[in-house]
Amino acid sequence: MPLEASVTKPISISQALRQAIELLSEHRVGVPRLTAEVLLSHVLGVEKSHLYGYPEKLLSPGQVDHFDDCLGQRISGKPTQYITGVQEFYGIAFRVEPGVLIPRPETELLVEEALSRASRKERILDLGTGSGCVAVSIKANAPATSITAADISGRALRVARRNAAEHGLPLDFVRCDLDTAFQPLSFDMVVCNPPYVPLKDLPGLQQELRHEPSEALFGGQDGLAIYRRLMATVGRILKPGGWLLLELGYNGRSAVEEMFSESEWHPPIVRADLAGIDRVLAVRRT
């Protein structure tokens, strides 16, 4: 057992945290203190502040066993979000589970760009919705819009539906491969965070990424396969003057910009994230 506890020797919150941090550090798990705090808060069903407000409170034997199990899963490489089942995104708590991509902070920029361009009562399509984090976040902040969330994965759509329902937000959900299910000129805006990790980068990826669905991560050998497929058809479903917003992979800007025809699209606009990486490309249909 990783934690030094038994029925005859209880362990306090502060002791459990200290031992967990040491254990995670020993196994080179990133941000060991934060990881220990998140996992222990999950086990106890409390906010992180509770851990430091009641440091001498004792864990029950069942809580110790549960915490041990969570630590073991994290040390094996399972992402913290899959262990707790929750990830915050754009100020909203989202349910996540294995088989569904974990929302990333950098994708919040895609939501910001959508909200900055959306007008009232627009029809917006979120392609490859995954957990529904983008679609739900847009709807939560622009309630007059009509949002459709699409994904090829039935599992992802089930999780997205649950997230929308838990936050009381009405969205339409469609299972399809990219934009194949939609009629011409159906939407005022299409947003998409496509798989863009190159398969050639697989050998050097972090262990945690190997737990996430490969179809939501990898975009062919060069990371551009889904962009190519999307650009061949997405103009069909956008109304004239409609916006297409795409999240970009690292160093993906130039290759994606080259895919736009000057006759069908206005010049693309690219916004960098806080790390200075070109992250979101916005382009308007002529």
Specify the pLDDT at position 6.
47
**In 3-state terms, what secondary structure has residue 134?**
helix
**Residue 114 near residue 125 (C-beta atoms within 8 A):** no
**Residue 64 near residue 16 (C-beta atoms within 8 A):** yes
Taking the C-alpha atoms of residue 164 and residue 129, their distance in angstroms, rounded to an integer, is 12
Structural domain includes residue 86: no
Structural domain includes residue 51: yes
Structural domain includes residue 143: yes
Structural domain includes residue 8: no
Same domain for 57 and 110: no
Task: Return the H-helix or E-strand segment holding 64.
Answer: helix 61-75
Specify the pLDDT at position 204.
84
Helices (H) and strands (E) in the chain, counts: 10, 9
- Rounded to two decimals, the pTM is 0.92
Structural domain includes residue 92: no
Same domain for 161 and 31: no
Q: List residues bridging with 190 in a β-sheet.
A: 125, 244
- CA contacts within 13 A on the Cβ side of 125: 28
Same domain for 157 and 227: yes
Q: Which of 76, 110, 130 finishes a domain?
A: 76
**pLDDT tens per residue across all 286 residues of the chain:** 467 654 446 899 999 999 999 999 999 999 999 999 999 999 999 999 999 999 999 999 999 999 999 999 999 999 999 999 999 999 999 999 999 999 999 999 999 999 999 988 899 999 999 999 999 999 999 999 999 999 999 999 999 999 999 999 999 999 999 999 999 999 999 999 999 999 999 888 888 888 999 999 999 999 999 999 999 999 999 999 999 999 999 989 999 999 998 889 999 999 999 999 999 999 999 9
Taking the C-alpha atoms of residue 41 and residue 46, their distance in angstroms, rounded to an integer, is 5
Same domain for 274 and 158: yes
Specify the pLDDT at position 120.
81
Residue 201 is classified by DSSP as: G
Q: Which domain holds residue 38?
A: 13-76
Taking the C-alpha atoms of residue 263 and residue 277, their distance in angstroms, rounded to an integer, is 28
Taking the C-alpha atoms of residue 99 and residue 101, their distance in angstroms, rounded to an integer, is 7
Structural domain includes residue 150: yes
Structural domain includes residue 6: no
